[in-house]
Structure 1
Amino acid sequence: MYAVTGATGQLGRLVIETLLETIPADRIVAVARNPAKARDLADRGIIIREGDYSRPDTLVPALEGVEKLLLISSTEVSGRLPRHRAVIDAAGQAGVSLIAYTSMLNADTSPARLAVEHRQTEEIIGASGIPAVILRNAWYTENHLLALPAALEHGAIVGSAGGGRFSSAARKDYAAAAAVALASDGHAGHTYELAADQAFTLSELAAEVSRLSGKTVVYNDLSEADYESVLTGAGLPADLAALLADADAAASRGALFDDGGALRRLIGRPTITMHSLVATALRS
């Protein structure tokens, strides 16, 4: 059987949708902190099991009979290492034969503080002895677009990335890669740096938003501290704002750029373009 943790999240649902193209529903286990949110998946024949990263007692039963596991990294931006360790320990106890883990681009060398717990999780997986495939995802293009309404209202996208290039890809592409890593053989022992075919700067993103919306939108490059203040002013928790501003600053030094083409090769098609995602966001 194939299990996906965080199955009711945005990425988890897309992975399950992709798995259903080749895997029978009764061979897929959706592991969710709140199984009630997975009722629609149960209606399609998918096995639903409660599994909460912060409640280790739920995890071994959730993984019973599972051969291949996708561990989607916790949405907590700090303190997630114990949660990941609990899932990995449970996978060992349950006899899981492969773990796929959604890590961060260049996690082993990235200066971004967000990379630290990903790097540590990779090390725990390696020490577990369970065969694994590491899926190092670049930024999600959709995350850049969360501030699109504000950008259109104020005529600016803000950040602290300078001219750094983001190899951001669509969530759907990362989900397709995860499904391939689970549903096909030959991926154990591999680490994939997953990034879009075409990278962009935030200035280029702003220009595309302008072109497609017909409204003037520019990129305002701020210091890391000033960008952090903007994020906290927008209501983000202080620790998250600090991590995101730090990530932007790291991007200015190339931390979120990759042109190796691994994502395209893994999913067997070109990645979805930034242009397409901006156009979709503007229509929604």
Structure 2
Amino acid sequence: MKKIRVTIPKYMGDILKYDAVEFGLSKNYLLNYLVKNYSLLREKDIPVLEGEKEIVQFNLNKENEDFYREVYNRSEFETEASFIRTLIYGYISQSKVIRERFIFKKLIGKIQRGIKDKKKIKIKFETAEKIVSPYNILYSSMEVSNYLFCYSEEDQNYKNYRLCNIKYVYILDENSYTGDTEYLRKVREDFDPFLSYGLPVEIRLSERGQEKYDRIKTNRPKLIEKLDDRWIVEGSQEKIKRYFAYFMSDAEIISPMNLREWFFEEAKKMIEMYG
């Protein structure tokens, strides 16, 4: 088994480590995948950057050894290190969304076939198998993650599943659920991973809370209307919980009541913890 050892800028190493954790891969698998897909990565120019360096080591898979030797011998690179650095830079220079699509392109191909043929698919998401009707692979406005947007007849609801958490895909010989054409269009044109469409939430923000709302853009609920001392925003319960929990006493959830009660119970737990 051939061992590869190359020095790269620390920021490159940080991105490789982050992606390995985020996408549920070993670093060895990720680097072998880059070698195997060298033709998609080799055209990138590496900027010369000063700063911290780190050494990356990995073992070539046996199936990659002959391929690697042939590709390297036919390449214009003077050293193996420069060849590997070029592959790594070609990968990390893309946005996270594109990197994720590159890593999971086979999975995406199966999903897209199911969409094209209008067939249901069976997926394993984390530890559970699910049968769904696939519509699109979409990404959030901040270009953080890719999602499979689909319909689950078991749950009788539209769902989003993080692409990197899908373990496998099987195309079934069952026609997919048609879905609401207008709703599908709305999701496609203005994608929200939390599927917050048509879910109004009434809130009251302090002056500092309004400043936080203006500043914090990740997962921010859309502002629908400003009333005298209240705002109406659009957000699913999960989105509202994630976003406004950080605001502490600078945000009050007025309605819906079950969401207000959730924040009340969480505040009580905090008082008990610090009391």
Classify the TM-score, shorter chain. under 0.3
TM-score (normalised: structure 1): 0.22
Structure with greater strand share of residues:
2
TM-score (normalised: structure 2): 0.23
Larger Rg: 2
Q: Which has the higher contact order (CA 8 A, sep 6+)?
A: 1
